A and B are shown apart, each in its own frame.
Chain A
Amino acid sequence: PFLAFTRSMFVAKKPNYAQPNWPGVGLALGTSAALWAFLIKQHNEDVMEYERRQKERHHKCTECS
């Protein structure tokens, strides 16, 4: 297999493909969940900000000073 990086032979280990790489799986799924949460939060904030600006733009002052 083609290795794009080199590891020192003093600390390199043979990868164990018999078991799932649980830390890797946890990191991948955790990052995905974090990214989705951030994206959904950002989208909702964007919608709120847009509606707020629309209201501000079309606000006809009648009683506020």
Chain B
Amino acid sequence: MAFLPDEARSLPPPPLFNKGSVWLGFTGWLAAMLNNSFNQRPALRAGVHRQILFTTVGWFVGYYLVKRTDYIYAKVDRELLEYVRHHPEDFKVAGT
């Protein structure tokens, strides 16, 4: 499967500020700070351009991963509901 098939565009896109982006952006920032520590530079004040770059890359990757996650969940939901629709005898409400 392609990373994002065309039908994924029929789903509402995730907001720019979303869980995956925030978390991966944070891990990017953490990576920049670790890089500072390993090279014996002041952890927070050094290499701000690096911190910005790593955070941006994390945010970017996070957005696309969340989009794909939403697509996979929607696809599975659709298949599940299709199955339920095609097999109503297996899904009778209790008592009827």
Q: Would you call A36 and B49 a contact (CB within 8 A)?
A: no
Q: Is the interface of A mostly helix, strand, loop or mixed?
A: helix
Q: Is the interface of B mostly helix, strand, loop or mixed?
A: helix
Q: What number of residue pairs across chains A and B have CB atoms under 8 A from each other?
A: 42
Give chain A nearest CB distance to B44 CB in angstroms: 17
Interface residues contributed by chain A, number (CB under 8 Å) = 19
Any A CB within 8 A of the CB of B87 = no
Contacting residues, chain B, for A47 (C-beta < 8 A): 13
Q: Would you call B56 and A46 a contact (CB within 8 A)?
A: no
- On A, residues with C-beta under 8 Å from B are 1, 24-25, 28-29, 31-32, 35-36, 38-40, 42-43, 46-47, 49-50, 53
